[in-house]
Amino acid sequence: MGPEVDATPRPLPARLPHRGTAVTLEPLGLRHAEELWQATQGATDSWAYMGYGPFPDEGAFRRFLAGFATTHDPMAWAVRPHVSGLASGWLTLMEIQPANAAIELGHIWFSPRMQRSRAATEAMFLLMRHAMDDLGYRRLVWKCNALNAPSRRAAQRLGFTYEGTLRAHLVVKGRRRDTAFFSILEDEWPARRDAIAAWLADENFDHHGVARTALRAAPG
């Protein structure tokens, strides 16, 4: 039957900002539209595995953002790296299941200037920590198109465990999508959290802002 667990429903996330050392997450809104539209310029390839985008013009982008920013699941935050001061992407908590203590980190879109940066890692970490430590969720999920190699590498780098692939799971932009699932469970989280926090620490970065060590939060 499986082990008994604390069946108390977990709290829903709230639209609150989260501030880190290198980045601030702000509840997404139309006030971010101009900066985010600029961040999308020259980033056509970044939409390949997203369910939306690229956008033909700023008007279409603003219409998308107006709807996306008001949903409660997914709940979205704009990402503002401190080095530039400009909103440069977004990410969400989604598939929120308080009764099952399960939640997903998803809809991650970062502009090319922000990808593979300290700010990008910290942005994801802030929501991971919020879900697991502040809200007490038991299961944190990452899923992606099974063909999306960068997303799979990012999940493994952050300490998510590959669970398997659902074949022909979705149709996205008229194409079949096989979906790879990854997760971190509550008993795994402390070690993952500590590894990411150690990588993000100031002493791990040289005076050029380059990390001294690589991050791989999962053991082995």
**CATH code where residue 26 lies:** 3.40.630.30
**Would residue 40 count as lying in a domain?**
yes
pLDDT given for residue 216 in this prediction: 86
Domain, as residue range, for 152: 18-204
Q: Cis before residue 54, ω within 30 degrees of 0?
A: yes
Dihedral sign computed on CA atoms, order 145, 147, 150, 154: positive
**Would residue 52 count as lying in a domain?**
yes
Query: How many domains does one find in the chain?
Result: 1
**Would residue 153 count as lying in a domain?**
yes
**Would residue 187 count as lying in a domain?**
yes
Measure CA of the first residue to CA of the last residue in the chain; give whole Å: 30
**Would residue 217 count as lying in a domain?**
no
Q: How far is CA 122 from CA 8, 106, 119, 132, 143, in A?
A: 29, 15, 5, 15, 19
Q: What is the pTM of this model?
A: 0.97
**Would residue 6 count as lying in a domain?**
no
Close Cβ partners of 158 (under 8 Å, ≥ 6 residues apart): 121, 124, 125, 128, 142, 184, 192, 196, 215, 217
pLDDT in tens, the chain (220 residues): 999 999 999 999 999 999 999 999 999 999 999 999 999 999 999 999 999 999 999 999 999 999 999 999 999 999 999 999 999 999 999 999 999 999 999 999 999 989 889 999 999 999 999 999 999 999 999 999 999 999 999 999 999 999 999 999 999 999 999 999 999 999 999 999 999 999 999 999 999 889 999 998 877 5
**Would residue 174 count as lying in a domain?**
yes
